Chains A and B, each alone.
Chain A
Amino acid sequence: GESVGLHLPTLSVQEGDNSIINCAYSNSASDYFIWYKQESGKGPQFIIDIRSNMDKRQGQRVTVLLNKTVKHLSLQIAATQPGDSAVYFCAVLMTGFQKLVFGTGTRLLVSP
């Protein structure tokens, strides 16, 4: 099986700072990783994904880093804005299996 954990339940940052949210997974056969953002009262919103054949992927203001050696991934948000305040989940999957396993979530609080 797979278990996924996040390192911090809450992360508080100032507007304009860079934010880093971390996630650890247990199964070395996991090969697809997704970050979701969930705002209050809404469904999870896809942010960025990465496959195990990569160690870094960049999007708009977001970067995902994957370290397969220690089974760790992180989401970096540049120039964090108040609109980034939400709960962030990492989710992990093995190719061929349809079950996403979610981490426990980190609440990002951005203060002006």
Chain B
Amino acid sequence: DTEVTQTPKHLVMGMTNKKSLKCEQHMGHRAMYWYKQKAKKPPELMFVYSYEKLSINESVPSRFSPECPNSSLLNLHLHALQPEDSALYLCASSPPNRETQYFGPGTRLLVL
């Protein structure tokens, strides 16, 4: 198994909804990342977890709440989002002692 999986593939939510994005990898990677990508732009880092601890938060608004329940899983909890939060949300992971990040297919989020 050499891939990062993300669910759901697409998500439509209202501004009062609470939803969660899920990411999973079974490659033994110990660093996991959340990125946000707007159309025609490069990915922008949101959060980094290293050995299940949050190591980087790129000043992301609190309506985005990450969680790393174990070394294979990464969640992003969403609450009270704004329409401008509509984007492709990408998860990535990297092996121990290597910086290469491998990306999942993303969740395309639309906030109405």
> Is A112 positioned at the interface, with any CB of B under 8 Å from its CB?
no
- B4, B41, B42, B44 — most chain A CB neighbours (10 Å): B42
Main secondary structure of the interface of B (DSSP, over half): strand
A: interface residue count bin: 20 to 34
- List of B residues within 8 angstroms of A32 by Cβ: 99
Interface size class of B (residues with CB under 8 A): 20 to 34
- Tell me whether A89 and B42 are in contact (CB under 8 A): yes
Shortest B31–chain A CB gap in Å is 6
Chain A 93-109 residues near chain B, CB threshold 8 A: 93, 95, 98-100, 102-105
Choose from B40, B101, B106 the contact partner of A100 (Cβ within 8 Å). B101
- The closest CB in chain B to the CB of A99 belongs to B45
* Chain B neighbourhood of A42, CB < 8 A: 105-106
Interface residues of A (CB under 8 A from B): 32, 34, 36, 41-46, 49, 89, 91, 93, 95, 98-100, 102-105
